[in-house]
Structure 1
Amino acid sequence: MEATERNKEFLCISTILSCLLLSITYVASLYIWNSPHTREHPSTIKRRFFSVFIMTLISPIFLYYGMNNNVFEKASIWELLGLRWSGLFQATVLPLFLTMVLFLGPLCMQALNGIWRLYAEPMYWLGSARTLIWWRNQVVAPLSEEWTFRACMLPLLLQCFSPTTAIFICPLFFGVAHFHHVVERTKMGMKLKHAIILSSFQFAYTTLFGAYAAFLFAKTGHFMAPFAAHSFCNHMGFPDLSEVIAYKDPVKRAGLLCLFVIGLVAWCFLLTPLTNPTWFNNNLFWHKDFL
């Protein structure tokens, strides 16, 4: 019995260290290039695209060698990574719909400002798809981050922790990884104090989103679920209440604020029923005895 406990303790320590090393490796891959340009410069973006492509190949190695062999008796490496056909459609549509409910206020504000008419223009999407920044924000960053920090990291943590605990530990690595923006902001001329404050705020909301993304991955067992939610959130950005408060019409202002609240409340009520594992044929992650 003591030997079993020691083995479990050793496995958990090695799991945390593996996740930490994976997080450091991901961030280090972005800075391996010696470039005088900012993160928005095309050459920087292209180099980082190459870095995260290499990371998508490296990250599963941490998962494969970090998992207990007992797990591979229940599931293949592809299933652990959330790459399977069964339940894929539901795992794409339902989490995206759920995330849109959370953004009910911002979406209605966009409709009021006429932005939705822009979405109906094919040239808007063609123009966006021609820019490297759009590909970074909507495809490459969500794909590489969810692949590394959810698909390759969360199954490791589920070896040692309950699903609820694991989904709150996993985003800490994701949130801390975003502190590398302090370097970029100071390089662009921002004062260190302001860069730290801004990055701390970013740490807070990326950690919250990371917990939500980890929850979606664990409940659906699909990589596509957090990826779709992440891409949508990157498109919407952080909700800007100051824009709502700036409305001069008190009726519009009050109505939009109500929609922000309604979206949050509706999201809370729909979160559990719309992520029921049976909807996604997920019989792997959302169980106490994962091992």
Structure 2
Amino acid sequence: MFISYYGPIMTARAAHTFAALFTFLYVGSLYAVKNARLSFAAKTVRVPNGGPRVKERDERWRDDPDVIKARLTVASLVTLACCALVYFVVFTPLAREHEVSFFTFESTIIRLGLGLEGPHTVYPYLVAPMLFFGPLYALSLAQMLPFQRCFVFRRDVIGVLFSWQGFRNFVVGPITEELVFRSCILAIYKMNGASEAAMIFVAPLWFGAAHLHHAWDCFNRYGRTWAAARRAILMTIFQSVYTTLFGAHSAFLFLRTGSVYPPIVSHIFCNIMGVPQMGEELKRFPRNKRGIKIAYVVGVLGYIYALGAWTRTDDSFYWRPYYETPKF
């Protein structure tokens, strides 16, 4: 296959419109389908100690198995639809006017980062674990890493992955989100001629915005009070910022490697690890405070180094200006 660029093949407005459409389709589908929709009792419940209230019989909450199954189905279908839209954009006469392509399907596969060859080394998959060097060290102190005394494969792997929540959080969720918010959105911005910086720091804002809808869930689960509203706002701000930052990390991996597989693995790993809890770890292991702090510093410095040194891929479709775009 031969791909040769002569300039952007869509306007910035069109690229933003497609990105908004992908985001709307992914999030909106969770509420468009009845079985995937959440339902809450429309009443105020004051809950002591700031915890969530008790779920009522007729309500449908986010972690209900029926809700999870429905949402996994619609999210998967929407992901396929978004990938198909990218294919049709590549196939349009406007695209062919600027691009010589005899194999539109193969071209789309490359743009989506779905080539089976993937990165040639394992290093891009180790960037996120390097950042979590501190939390991993704390887990080793707790003897919770694989092959350590407190790690139980049946409980910590089988029991998690074969639950509906685990299947959502560690399999379908990361795969569909990376395909939509990295593969599809970055493919569109590439066709707009966006710079690497814009794709790393601007495109992930859509991923952060896709998590705003969790505020309604939090507000209802915590009783629909003013305290619940404050919690929902703070939680949503934190989650949106955190997911936007992760989106920038994931976009960098995607662009540098030209593959969606390192971002997917990174997403799964980060979901498993959760948000680092350095304060709690220092309290739990007071004799190892210095070691934990050093491990966190090593992780951050190692991550900064690994971003450049471990992600370089000479044949990445994305990490080149147009005139250096590889020919396939």
Q: TM-score scaled to structure 1, two decimals?
A: 0.89
- In the other structure, the counterpart of 1:139 is 171
Does the CA contact (< 8 Å) of 2:253 and 2:262 recur in 1? yes
Evaluate the alpha carbon distance shift between residue 19 and residue 273 of structure 1 in structure 2; reply closer, same or farther with a 3 A threshold. same
Q: Deviations over 1:187-241 (max 9, x none)?
A: 2125112201111011111000000101111111111110000000000001012
- In the other structure, the counterpart of 1:43 is 66
Does the CA contact (< 8 Å) of 1:176 and 1:203 recur in 2? yes
- In the other structure, the counterpart of 1:189 is 222
With 206-215 and 190-199 compared, the bigger mean Cα shift is at: 190-199
Q: Deviations over 1:80-110 (max 9, x none)?
A: 11111334453xx322211111100000101
For residues 153 and 114 of structure 2, the distance between their equivalents in structure 1, rounded to whole angstroms, comes to 33
Matched, 1:64 2:87: yes
Matched, 1:210 2:247: yes
- In the other structure, the counterpart of 2:101 is 73
Evaluate the alpha carbon distance shift between residue 46 and residue 89 of structure 1 in structure 2; reply closer, same or farther with a 3 A threshold. farther
Q: Output the aligned Cα RMSD.
A: 2.1
Which residues in structure 2 correspond to 1:1-291 (within 5 Å)? 11-32=11-32, 33=34, 34-36=37-39, 37-67=60-90, 68-69=95-96, 70-71=98-99, 73=101, 76-88=107-119, 90=121, 93-116=122-145, 117=148, 118-119=150-151, 121-159=153-191, 160-189=193-222, 191-247=228-284, 249=286, 251-278=287-314, 281-282=315-316, 284-289=317-322
Counterpart amino acid of residue 312 in structure 2: N
Instruction: Report how far residue 141 of structure 1 moved.
Output: 0.5
Instruction: Report how far residue 126 of structure 1 moved.
Output: 2.0
With 172-181 and 48-57 compared, the bigger mean Cα shift is at: 48-57
Counterpart amino acid of residue 305 in structure 2: F
Evaluate the alpha carbon distance shift between residue 19 and residue 111 of structure 1 in structure 2; reply closer, same or farther with a 3 A threshold. same
Does the CA contact (< 8 Å) of 2:189 and 2:199 recur in 1? yes
Counterpart amino acid of residue 232 in structure 1: F
For residues 258 and 186 of structure 1, the distance between their equivalents in structure 2, rounded to whole angstroms, comes to 38
Evaluate the alpha carbon distance shift between residue 133 and residue 163 of structure 1 in structure 2; reply closer, same or farther with a 3 A threshold. same
Give the 4+ runs in structure 1 shifted more than 4 A: 7-10
Q: Deviations over 1:123-154 (max 9, x none)?
A: 53222232111111110110010010001110
Q: How many pairs does the alignment contain? A: 279
Q: Which runs of 5+ in 2 are unaligned?
A: 1-6, 40-59
Does the CA contact (< 8 Å) of 2:115 and 2:259 recur in 1? yes
Structure 1 or 2: more helix by fraction: 1
For residues 88 and 299 of structure 2, the distance between their equivalents in structure 1, rounded to whole angstroms, comes to 42
Q: Which runs of 5+ in 1 are unaligned?
A: 1-6
For residues 85 and 175 of structure 2, the distance between their equivalents in structure 1, rounded to whole angstroms, comes to 17
Larger radius of gyration: 2
Does the CA contact (< 8 Å) of 2:282 and 2:292 recur in 1? no
For residues 205 and 280 of structure 2, the distance between their equivalents in structure 1, rounded to whole angstroms, comes to 30
Instruction: Report how far residue 121 of structure 1 moved.
Output: 2.9
Q: Deviations over 1:166-195 (max 9, x none)?
A: 111111000011001001111212511220
Counterpart amino acid of residue 267 in structure 1: Y
For residues 8 and 302 of structure 2, the distance between their equivalents in structure 1, rounded to whole angstroms, comes to 40
Evaluate the alpha carbon distance shift between residue 72 and residue 205 of structure 1 in structure 2; reply closer, same or farther with a 3 A threshold. farther
Q: TM-score scaled to structure 2, two decimals?
A: 0.79
Evaluate the alpha carbon distance shift between residue 10 and residue 71 of structure 1 in structure 2; reply closer, same or farther with a 3 A threshold. closer
Instruction: Report how far residue 58 of structure 1 moved.
Output: 0.8
